[in-house]
Amino acid sequence: MTLTISHVAILGDAERTFTLTDDAIAELEKIAYTGIAAIYASLTTLTFKVSILPEIVRLGLIGA
Rounded distance between C-alpha atoms, residue 18 and residue 57, angstroms: 9
The domain limits of the chain are: 5-62
As a whole number of Å, the end-to-end CA separation of the chain is 21
Give pLDDT, residue 1. 62
- pLDDT tens readout for residues 8-47: 989 889 998 888 888 888 999 999 999 999 999 999 999 9
Rg (CA), the chain: 12
